[in-house]
Each structure stands twice: as C-alpha cells, then as structure tokens.
Structure 1
C-alpha cells in the first residue's frame, strides 16, 4: 500500500535514485537538490513501506503564486496514480492561490493536463538552465 507524507525526514540516499532513474540532472548536485527540497514551501512524498517511490514539491510566495518544480515517481511505480495523488495533495494545499504554475515537456504535458493544468495562453517558458536533460 502506498502512503503519502508531508514530513521532511527523508535521507538524500532515498531521494537520489528517483532523480537518477528519471534522468534528472539535479541528481548531479545532490546537496543542492537536498536543500532545495527540504526548504521548499511544501514537500510531499510517496512511500511503499520504507521505500521512497515518489516526491513532489512547491515553491510559493504564500499569497498569490505557487510553482511546482519537481514531481517524480520511481519508474517501477509509474502509471499507478502516485504522481496524480501527489499533485492532488499539493493543489489542495494551494487551492486559494491566484496562479498555479509549472513547466512540462514531452509526455509530462498530457499528465498535467489530466491534473487540470492548461497551456498558459501564448506564453513561452524561458530559463537560464545549467542542466542537460531537456
């Protein structure tokens, strides 16, 4: 049975495999990744017993805007509704916010559309990015 938690007592050794298996370049900066997750406005994790199988976070000003930078599920557990449930928990926490934002590419676009997100008009995502995974 999968359980969900908003506790932050997660070891970096539990987090890194999910990022590595999903090919996220932030795994190459483990201490920065760890601090970023622990210092997020919200952090939701999914567990199969003692095994971390999913994680998602939010950054927010606490009043108007929330941004969802990370949502990952271990490849062995994808397609079971874990990512959707993490997003539901996060969206519920921020339901009064004026704007919910995220950046999605490839197959993640249809996933987020199923979670209620739509393309942001004629806007274009822009960044200065140190990774190489997109």
Structure 2
C-alpha cells in the first residue's frame, strides 16, 4: 500500500461522498450540493490517496494562527488502522502551526480513537445543534 497525501486539493464531490459513506461518517451525502458547499467554504483540506482512490480526508476551517476546527476526518473502512487518520491529523497540525489549537467533535464510535493519536478530551465545550 503506497499512500500519498495532498494538501489543498479538493477532491471530486462524488469521491468524497463515496468515502464518507464507506467510512460511516454521518454527513448529508444524499445532498451533493451541500457537500459541495462544505468544501467550497473550507480552507484546509488534506486528502489521502491509494493511486486514484480517495482513501482518507481531513477537512478543516482555520485562521492558521489561533484556532482550527477539524470538521471531518474520514478513512475508508478497509484502510483503517494503517495510520492514515493519524497522518492526516499530523499534516493538519503541521499546516496550522504550533500557534493554533486543533479542535474537533468526535462521532460516538470514535471517542476511543482520538486520545490514542494525541488529542486531549475537553469538558468545556458548548453546542447549538443544526436543525437540518
């Protein structure tokens, strides 16, 4: 397996949807336009590729000097446990620099994963959930 990584390359929307569906990431994948808007308005996208196959992605919003919200981290099921997710996080951290904190909201099934790759659980967050 020869995985390559791309920074600031926004993959085709169909490839992103296929990845999200395969990885089990709860995103509005039946709404192609909405997925497109999510990527249009993101300013840091790092992708992992096995040849022409999109196997992982990290999508973030950042000011690159104080904060970064890692909104999506997805790896195809058959590529999980190969270090791809950790590498996507590491590349995101490199790009935003040590000046910036990295924040993400975990899916319930991934709560055990993030401490293993260096993220610290926080208890001081608040949310207003989306209506749609």
- Same fold by TM (over 0.5)? yes
3-state DSSP of counterpart to 1:88: helix
Offset at residue 52 of structure 1 (A): 0.5
CA separation in 1, counterparts of 2:99 and 2:28?
Answer: 27
Question: What's 1:72 paired with?
Answer: 74
Question: What's 1:20 paired with?
Answer: 21
Question: What's 1:52 paired with?
Answer: 54
Q: Which runs of 5+ in 1 are unaligned?
A: none
CA separation in 1, counterparts of 2:68 and 2:10?
Answer: 23
Which segments of structure 1 move beyond 6 Å, counting only runs of 4 or more?
none
After superposition, where does 1:86-105 map in structure 2 within 5 Å? 86-105=88-107
Change in Cα spacing, 1:110 to 1:39, as seen in structure 2 (3 Å) is: same
Aligned length: 130
3-state DSSP of counterpart to 2:4: strand
After superposition, where does 1:107-122 map in structure 2 within 5 Å? 107-120=109-122, 122=123
Q: Which runs of 5+ in 2 are unaligned?
A: none
Offset at residue 75 of structure 1 (A): 1.0
TM-score (norm 2): 0.86
Task: State which of 78, 84, 87 in structure 2 corresponds to 1:85.
Answer: 87
Q: CA RMSD in A?
A: 1.8
